[in-house]
Amino acid sequence: MLANALLCPDLQSVSSTYKEVTFYFDTPLLVQYLGLEGVEKQQSCNDLVALVQRLDGKVSFFTHTRDELLNVINGAAEYIDSPKGRGAVIFEARRAGTSRSDLVLTAQNAVEKLAASGIEAHPTPGYIHEFQIEETTFSDALNDEVNYYNPNAREYDINSVRSIYVLRKGTCPHTVEKAKAVFVTNNTGFSKAAYEYGKKIEQSREVSTVITDFSLANTAWLKAPQGAPSLPRREVLAFAYAALRPTSEFWEKFLAEADKLQKSGTITPRDHQILRSSLHVQEELMKLTLGEDAALTEEKITETLNRVVSEIKKEDSHKLDLSEKARGEAERKFQDALTRNESIKEKIYWRCDKTAKREALLLSILIWISQGAVAVVGVIKLTNQSELGWALLSVAGVSGLLRLAGTFWDLKPLKVYSLFREWRCHGLVQKENSALGIDE
């Protein structure tokens, strides 16, 4: 994000808000927003949604995405107590001690919880021949970029892209801010496939129908960096947290190797169950292999098993739990303090921005009034110049100075609003931060 602030194109040429576009979130992002993949990802996603909404953008999701979301949560609830259960939602539920009934309740309240945050379901558009895509061609493009374990997921993705084309209604936007509708995902393969397919179609040649949440976070943060000071840090934490977990492909390969070891008699059924369901297995496995497929050997799996079994049998496990609990409490207090500080900064920025907007609008109105008054002088015949002469002369003088300043600094009445607002907001933020002793 910081690199983009230096290297990205001039943002002054695009709108400072997203008031003309609706962002439709993919299922994994809604799962993260609901906190089903951990606190780190939830905080990052929450910050992104809040910033987009602050910039007058709308965040929504299609009704077919809603169906997929409920299937994911209910599926996790069904397999949470089974050794066959896998996936980020199940892993986090086991780590957090979430029960099957908790997940079922989450599924029942998911749509209402999202709506309470301003994220509402939008009916999936019907099929319109004029805006229909070649679904077979796009499906082939998806297969080249994404490995789908569930065939239904591919159909949901195709439906999402098709829906964006329908909502754009044949328009050809040149910027995201004018795109009307954009689908947001955390699947880079899906995003790339949509981009490559969209280059052949005029309506999506400049702005793809699908962008990543990281891309949206970049552009949104650059519009108001002080309005979301915690977003870059939480993005980094979310990526780091994700890096500590094995990928789906890696975990599938591990489970296949574990099955082979059991069938060959190398490990017992109990050992096999531990490998499939113990939370410590993933942590130890990532330490030993660093997530590399080539390092996933029988020796590494056996060593992982031995470490986990040894950990389970430790007599001082209670002390370890207390130590971990104390460390977690200390980290929580630190994060809470950091979050409060960043929340204060965020509130200061938006309050100062509101004040700056109001003052900039007043200044713009005064400038236009003075310009208009000078223009009227030549067409109104004054009956008593002695009473109004000095007032009109003063107005004319001020207007003349403004025109000279505008010529020298390239200031125009239409530019005064944005320039004064930015300058005034920066000054107000500095003043309030200084008064509260907050480092910028």
pLDDT in tens, 363-387: 888 777 766 666 665 555 544 454 5
**Cβ count near 94 (within 10 Å):** 15
User: Across-strand partners of 61?
Assistant: 121
The pLDDT of 180-206, averaged and rounded, is 89
> What is the pLDDT, as a whole number, of residue 218?
85
> What is the pLDDT, as a whole number, of residue 120?
94
What are the pLDDT digits (tens) for 224-241? 776 666 666 666 666 565
Residues 80 and 90: beta-carbon distance below 8 Å: yes
> For residue 269, what are the contacts with CB-CB under 8 A and spacing of at least 6?
262
Both tokens assigned to 34? 């609901």
Type of residue found at 265 = G
Cα separation, 276 vs 88, whole angstroms: 14
Give the CA radius of gyration of the chain: 29
The pLDDT of 274-278, averaged and rounded, is 67
Both tokens assigned to 433? 């931060």
Least confident of 2-6, 172-176, 325-329: 2-6
Residues 37 and 89: beta-carbon distance below 8 Å: yes
Task: Using alpha carbons, list the distances in angstroms from residue 425 to 344, 350, 414.
Answer: 16, 9, 18
Buried b (16+ CB within 10 A) or exposed e, 209-223: bbbbbbbbbbbbbeb
Would you mind telling me the total number of residues written for the chain in this entry?
440
**Percent of the chain scored above 90 by pLDDT?**
25
Q: Has residue 286 got a pLDDT over 80?
A: no
Average pLDDT over all residues of the chain: 79
Residue 276 gets the label, from left (phi > 0), alpha (psi -120 to 50) or beta, of: alpha
pTM above 0.75, yes or no: no
Q: Has residue 336 got a pLDDT over 90?
A: no
